[in-house]
Amino acid sequence: MKIGLVGFPGSGKTTVFNALTGLSAETGFGAARGKTNLGTVKVPDDRVKALTGLYRPKKSTLAEITFCDVAAASAGSQGQSLDETTLRAMREVDALCQVVRGFTGAAGEAPDPLAEAKGLEDEMNLADLILIEKRLERLAKEKAKTGEAELLGTLKAALEAGTPLRRLDGISPEAWGTLVGYRFLTQKPLLLVLNVPEDQAAVPAPEDLARHARGAGLGLVVLAGQVEMDIAQMSPEDQREFVASLGLAEPAIARFIREAYALLDLISFLTAGEDECRAWPIRRGLTAPKAAGKIHSDIERGFIRAEVAHWEDLVRLGSEAKCREAGKLRSEGKEYVVHDGDVINFRFNV
């Protein structure tokens, strides 16, 4: 999964990028303009750990999140339009994370998180509108009789009324499917990160921002970027101590991952064997063949059945054979909806 860090210059995108990835990209206004920072983190998973203890595989593989910190190509202040490079990078990611400044700026500017959040939302709304208008002009010129123009007209009206596309009801999944090529920004899951000073690390987000997030269907995490960036460099023992001194239970990345998974409605199924134990993140609600398709399209195409055990049963009972004896290993068909923590062995035929 790829998450793009976006926000106004000086909000602390690169600082938060460092806090989440444990890397040391250059921060501040001197940092190279137009330089994109990329970093990948593994998603900690106790289930993979437990299965690895059981199977002793050659390899164990965790889910990964890649963070992309897109530096705006041109200098500018709050309210600047998103430039083309930034837009293109934003369209490519699976989810967006807006870093919002919650600390006093270098020149003494008071933070205004709600205005910043709304400001970027407006810019993304405008970017989607421009894309739609261009396409509608083209369709009108071609005099093509497609349902596309009508559909785009519906989206346009929603955007003009200030509704982000992720909040638009009444459009079927099939209709959305015909529009995937547009990669609309306001349709992408969006997580707000309020970047606060150290002494506010454990203070909940202001109610107006929280209300805005709920209304627009956004995730929200409060994070003290600067100190979390230092914490990310420490040994696990020191991390625990520092995080506790901030009044928190976990470092930023752990809280961030939980919030992101909830926002994206992600769950993980697992595969386990002597070769590899592995976590596979998928959207909640996928059927067994669709989930199998994440591993390989051949397994989806040739799907016969799925042998499923819950990871806790498998670890508690110690083997698939024991699970079978105890009636804890089920054989499921095409319609089975995969659950979080299912350990699955796919039977397929190609």
Ligand X SMILES: Nc1nc2c(ncn2[C@@H]2O[C@H](COP(=O)(O)OP(=O)(O)O)[C@@H](O)[C@H]2O)c(=O)[nH]1
Q: Contact residues for Mg ion (CB under 5 A)? A: 13-14, 71
Q: Please list every residue from 253 through 292 that binds ligand X, using CB under 6 A.
A: none
Residue 69 or 300: which CB sits closer to ligand X? 69
Q: Is-contact 87 182, C-beta < 8 A?
A: no
Instruction: Quote the least distance from Cβ 55 to Mg ion, whole Å.
Output: 42
Cα–chain center distance at 35: 22
Q: What is the DSSP letter of 308?
A: E
What is the gyration radius of the CA atoms in the chain, in angstroms? Answer: 23
Total site size for ligand X, rule CB under 6 A: 17
Instruction: Quote the least distance from Cβ 190 to ligand X, whole Å.
Output: 16
Residue 98 or 187: which CB sits closer to ligand X? 98
Q: Is-contact 229 19, C-beta < 8 A?
A: yes
Residue 92: closest CA among 169, 19, 36: 36
For residue 270 the two structure tokens come to: 């697992």
Instruction: Quote the least distance from Cβ 69 to Mg ion, whole Å.
Output: 6
225 is an interface residue for ligand X by CB under 6 A: yes
Q: Please list every residue from 15 through 34 that binds ligand X, using CB under 6 A.
A: 15, 27-28, 31
Cβ-Cβ contacts under 8 Å for 88 (sequence gap 6 or more)? none
Residue 71 or 257: which CB sits closer to Mg ion? 71
Q: Please list every residue from 94 through 153 that binds ligand X, using CB under 6 A.
A: 103
Among the candidate windows 126-134, 159-167, 223-231, 337-345, which touches ligand X by CB under 6 A? 223-231
DSSP E strands, 212-265 = 219-223
Per the listing, tokens 């837009």 go with 87
Contact set with ligand X (CB under 6 A): 7, 9-15, 27-28, 31, 103, 195, 197, 224-226
